[in-house]
Amino acid sequence: MARAKLDKHFSSKEAVWHYGADVLDSEIYSQCACYIQHGNTSVREHSISVAMTSVAIARRLPFKFAYSSLVRGSLLHDFFLYDWHDKEKPIDNHALGHASRALENAAQWFSINPLEADMIKKHMFPLNITPPKYRETVILTIADKICSFKETFEIGAHRHEHKTISNVLK
């Protein structure tokens, strides 16, 4: 796992596109746009927002990070590929089980490393009781909570920015 400082010329959006292009360009990942995550936000939009927030948090800290894995793990953390809001096909224990399903799907469709697997599997900490192994997993966990809160309560300019960024990254 190569940890490095992010090129200071990269914006968070550019970093997500640069390191996550293989995921974002895949046909299977485009299906995430069909499923709602929080409020009116799709899983795809949520995951892009989480990846951008993860990069923004990491670049403010005095540590080196594996930015490629930080972005890819963030994009794939909710890659569960089902509608957990569908009342006719209820999903048992989505909150606890979706990380395992996302990891299975990510491993099936993409080449993921142990860091990315840890991020996907443990992003629901402390709801899942196994703590993160890597600092990138901690960053993802925090970014996911921030974005989920904003999306659920439709807070601030985040909503408009979120939709615009998702369209740019299509």
Q: Is position 45 within any domain?
A: yes
User: Could you tell me the CA-to-CA distances from 10 to 15, 59, 89, 122, 129 in Å, in that order?
Assistant: 6, 10, 42, 27, 35
pTM of the prediction?
A: 0.82
Q: Is residue 5 part of a domain?
A: no
> How many domains in the chain?
1
Which residues have a Cβ under 8 Å from the Cβ of 56 and sit 6 or more positions away? Answer: 12
- How far, in Å, are 6, 11, 96, 109, 133 from residue 57 at the CA level? 12, 12, 25, 28, 18
Cα separation, 123 vs 118, whole angstroms = 8
Residue 7 belongs to some domain of the structure: no
Q: What is the pLDDT of residue 87?
A: 53
Question: What's the average pLDDT block by block, 10 residues per block, for the chain (170 residues)?
Answer: 68 94 95 74 90 96 95 93 56 63 93 97 80 95 92 63 46
Interior/surface letters 84-100, b for 16+ CB within 10 angstroms, e for the rest: beeeeeeeeeeeeebbe
> What was the pLDDT predicted at 89?
55
The whole domain housing 75 covers 12-169
Predicted local distance difference test score (pLDDT) of residue 153: 85
pLDDT at 160: 44
E-assigned strands of 21-140? Answer: 36-38, 41-42
| Residue 4 within any structural domain of the chain | no
Phi-psi region of 98 (alpha: psi -120 to 50; beta: other; left: phi over 0): alpha
CB 110 within 8 A of CB 76: yes
Q: What pLDDT, on the 0 to 100 scale, is given for residue 32? A: 83
Q: Is residue 48 part of a domain?
A: yes
CATH of the domain at 29: 1.10.3210.10
Asked whether residue 164 is assigned to any structural domain, the reply reads yes
